């Protein structure tokens, strides 16, 4: 892979991220209303930037203590 291919891949990634960001700006915090055949449909799109704190609990069961074989040398 030469420098031109690497540059093309990098530029393509930047363009793709730019397009995704523009779609995000266009869709976020907007309400879409549709009235078809006498039925009304309202859809609101909100993208939250913050995530709630994770409630992760890790429980490690206590190890079973075995005295045999630890610290003893058989001769």
pLDDT tens digits for 19-55? 999 988 877 777 778 888 888 888 777 766 676 677 7
Please provide the average confidence, as pLDDT, over all residues in the chain.
77
**Number of structural domains found in the chain:** 1
> Is residue 10 in some structural domain?
yes
> Is residue 57 in some structural domain?
no
Q: What is the pTM of this model?
A: 0.44
What range does the domain containing 41 cover? 3-45
Torsion-angle region of 29 (φ positive above 0: left; ψ -120 to 50: alpha; else: beta)? left
> Is residue 14 in some structural domain?
yes
pLDDT reading at 65 higher than 60? no
pLDDT at 18: 95
> Is residue 36 in some structural domain?
yes
> Is residue 18 in some structural domain?
yes
**Distance between CA atoms of residues 10 and 4, nearest Å:** 10
> Is residue 32 in some structural domain?
yes
**Distance between CA atoms of residues 65 and 75, nearest Å:** 24
% of the chain residues with pLDDT over 90: 17
> Is residue 33 in some structural domain?
yes
């Amino acid at each position: 892979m030469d420098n031109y291919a690497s540059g093309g891949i990098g530029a393509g990634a930047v363009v793709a991220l730019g397009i995704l960001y523009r779609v995000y700006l266009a869709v976020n915090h907007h309400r879409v209303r549709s009235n078809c055949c006498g039925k009304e449909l309202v859809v609101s799109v909100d993208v939250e930037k913050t995530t709630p704190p994770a409630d992760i609990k890790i429980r490690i069961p206590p190890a079973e203590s075995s005295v045999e074989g630890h610290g003893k040398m058989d001769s």
